[in-house]
Amino acid sequence: MRKNIVAGNWKMNTTLQDGQALISEIVNMVQDEVTGSQVEVVVCPPFPFLSVIGKQLPQGGRFHLGAQNCHQKESGAFTGEVSAQMLQSVGAEYVILGHSERRQYFREDDELLSQKLKAALAAGLKPIFCVGESLETREAEDTFKFIEKQLKDGLFHLSNEEFDQVVVAYEPIWAIGTGKTATSAQAQEVHAFIREQIARAYDAEAADNTTILYGGSANAQNARELFSQPDVDGGLIGGASLKSRDFTEIIKSF
């Protein structure tokens, strides 16, 4: 079902102690200040903190725990890796897959991401599947073609039932960590396009029910404008999710 979600991707930041202090501030501020709106908050700390941070989140409310990656296999001799089932067992409900940093630095391609998606879904996790073009692709006016291919090759192999569990995040690479946010019109244009592709691959109902988040230099100043767009259902926030006041303001932007 389509929801409003603000997700914080901490990436490889904080110590456990700093992360605990951050989340306790966020929880307090959100509980004091965010009233009425149904926005769901997903916190995605690094693997070693998941269990501890998860326990700090008020249960049964708007807060949910997410991970930033998972391995494609259920278990076995894969030293240093973390399975979807492990994440589920420590309380994660979501997992980010296909982030451009993983595609770029860890060479995750559509084939591997398809396997990771299957593994996440089999473990009962909800994937937050990221797509997004580089500056070069945008300047060559190939954005739509590129996004269409990422969706087709990485995501649309899922069955209707599987796809129901997926949140899509549009993260233009040129906007990530750069301070260059997509304008609300640029975001809306691509979000509407993604929804159209979902309607084609599945049906209108699936398209209407899919939550599509925007990510890339979203902050307390621009969130309201971005979230006011009809096809922008929330944000996947990097840098600003590490500052309790900024993150709370973004949550309040609905």
Ligand X SMILES: O=C(CO)COP(=O)(O)O
Q: List the catalytic residues.
A: 99, 171
Q: Which of 45, 98, 172, 216 binds ligand X (CB under 6 A)?
A: 216
239 scored as a contact of ligand X (CB under 6 A)? yes
Strand partners, 235: 6, 214
Rounded CA gap, 131 and 165, in Å? 17
Contact map string, positions 167 to 206, toward ligand X, x by CB under 6 A: ----x----xx-----------------------------
- Listed in sequence order, the DSSP H helices in 106-238 are 110-122, 135-139, 143-154, 160-163, 184-201, 204-209, 223-227
The reply, when asked if residue 222 is annotated as ligand binding, is no
Strand partners, 167: 128
Q: Which of 215, 223, 234, 253 binds ligand X (CB under 6 A)?
A: 215
Rounded CA gap, 150 and 239, in Å? 25
Rounded CA gap, 174 and 187, in Å? 13
The answer to whether 86 and 119 are in contact (CB under 8 A) is no
The reply, when asked if residue 241 is annotated as ligand binding, is no
The reply, when asked if residue 9 is annotated as ligand binding, is yes
Window of 45-53, 71-79, 191-199, 210-218 that interacts with ligand X by CB under 6 A: 210-218
The answer to whether 108 and 72 are in contact (CB under 8 A) is no
Window of 26-34, 146-154, 159-167, 209-217 that interacts with ligand X by CB under 6 A: 209-217
Annotated binding site for substrate: 9-11, 177, 217, 238-239
Q: Which residues bind ligand X (CB under 6 A)?
A: 9, 99, 171, 176-177, 215-218, 236-240
